[in-house]
């Protein structure tokens, strides 16, 4: 199998429809999906599969029980990018490379602020131009993943 363009990481996702849509995006963009920690649903949830439609069998995905379990899979910590509404760096300012890790937090709380403090140069913001508090998680993943796809020239 071809090396994934990116490795999408969802830390404690809560909404099965978002994860299903993200799985579909991963299949379309040749990305792996890594689910980390406690999930707000079970993988067999009908909503998850409905949102992912018939793409779920084509998805290469992993479930890591803890953040540390996932982090042990990371070969180069400098190739991990964390998204947050509180980051200072724009997601378009990164020079993405094939195989980078793109990390997203749970829908209601985002990522742990300690992670963002530890990796400020790797924390990325999708700017909001209107009065919205944030983008839907599935939309945010698609925005960042496809910026990466654009940059690597796929």
Domain span at residue 48 reads: 6-152
Report pLDDT digits (tens) over 48-96.
Answer: 566 555 777 888 999 999 999 999 999 999 999 999 998 999 999 999 9
Backbone angles phi, psi at 138, to 5 degrees: -65, -35
Q: Is residue 127 a part of any domain in this protein?
A: yes
The Cα–Cα gap between 127 and 131 comes to 11
Q: Is residue 1 a part of any domain in this protein?
A: no
Q: Is residue 120 a part of any domain in this protein?
A: yes
Report pLDDT digits (tens) over 14-61.
Answer: 998 899 899 999 999 999 999 999 998 777 656 656 655 577 788 899
Report the domain count for the chain.
Answer: 1
What contacts 33, CB < 8 A, 6 or more positions away? 8, 10, 22, 23, 26, 59, 60, 61, 62
The Cα–Cα gap between 67 and 1 comes to 26
pTM of the model: 0.93
CATH number at residue 105: 3.40.1280.10
- The answer to whether the beta carbons of residues 110 and 129 sit under 8 Å apart is no
């Amino acid at each position: 199998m071809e090396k994934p363009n990116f490795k999408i990481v969802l830390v404690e996702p809560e909404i099965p429809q978002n994860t299903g849509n993200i799985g579909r995006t991963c299949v379309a963009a040749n990305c792996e999906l890594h689910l980390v920690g406690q999930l707000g649903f079970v993988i067999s949830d009908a909503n998850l599969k409905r949102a992912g439609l018939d793409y779920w069998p084509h998805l290469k995905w992993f479930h890591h029980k803890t953040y540390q379990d996932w982090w042990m899979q990371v070969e180069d910590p400098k190739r991990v990018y964390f998204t947050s509404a509180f980051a200072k760096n724009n997601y378009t300012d990164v020079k993405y490379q094939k195989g980078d890790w793109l990390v997203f937090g749970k829908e209601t709380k985002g990522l742990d602020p300690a992670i963002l403090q530890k990796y400020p140069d790797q924390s990325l913001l999708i700017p909001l131009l209107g009065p919205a508090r944030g983008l839907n998680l599935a939309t945010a993943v698609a925005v960042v993943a496809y910026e990466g796809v654009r940059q690597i020239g796929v």
